[in-house]
Amino acid sequence: MTRAIRAVHSSFYLVGENRFDRRRRSGHVGGELLDQLARAAPALRAKFNLDLRVRAIGGSKKMVLDEQRLDLLKWRESLEKGRRRADADKLISHIQADYLPHAVLIDCTADQGVADRYAAWLQRGIHVITPNKRAHSGADRLLPGVEAPEPRRARHFLYEATVGAGLPVIHTLRDLVETGDEIRSISGIFSGTLAYLFNLFDGTRPFSEIVREAKRKGYTEPDPRDDLSGTDVARKAVILAREAGLTLELTDIAVEASSRRP
């Protein structure tokens, strides 16, 4: 059974090597998302009549804006050559144009400062999509203020990717709770990063070398210490517990770390 589990883990994390290389070169999660949108946009327009326009891309230092749409096939060049300094307020004002029916902001960071802005953006009527766990696992839980939108300013806050890498874990859990089921326990492998690291570690290479390799491939959090310390797993546990109806804080999670060297 142990060998079978290791084989399954290997298939998940090693077969798609080229895909993760592209994500690393393009700036991790945000870059891979833009590449996927570039590939999907023509089909979305043809099959679903969905005119998806990316009008702004922002990094930690620079941003690039366009009144109509950015060319997603050349977004890297646009961002590299752009001269606008990153400014979240100006970016938000730009994407929420009066002549467009919907404004969506996708946060692909793990930054607390960005997560702190969600409530204000949602109140403005901007849809927010994010894998950032900090908004739902922090002391100031975001849900109460944003999940009951005014009818005239309906907006969506989508955070399925915070747990399970986009698998319908949170959606399924919420459906169970809303239909009257009582969640008694949740079990699973909460960290794909740690599963990957320990699947590869056999003592022939330094553990630190495997961690650096995983970071280059985009498997880890922006700061791998969040994975190694158990903080990332604790945040996911808080998010799931809150979805199940528990009042839980991150400080309530006991994380045990081994003091032995691997």
Q: Which residues are catalytic?
A: 236
CB 232 within 8 A of CB 191: yes
CB 59 within 8 A of CB 34: no
Selection from 44, 84, 48, 43 nearest residue 63 by Cα: 84
What lies within 8 Å, CB to CB, of 88 at 6+ separation is: 58, 114, 117
Beta strand pairing call for 62-65 and 56-58 = antiparallel
Beta strand pairing call for 157-158 and 127-129 = parallel
Q: What is the dihedral of CA 86, 134, 30, 118, to 10 degrees?
A: -60
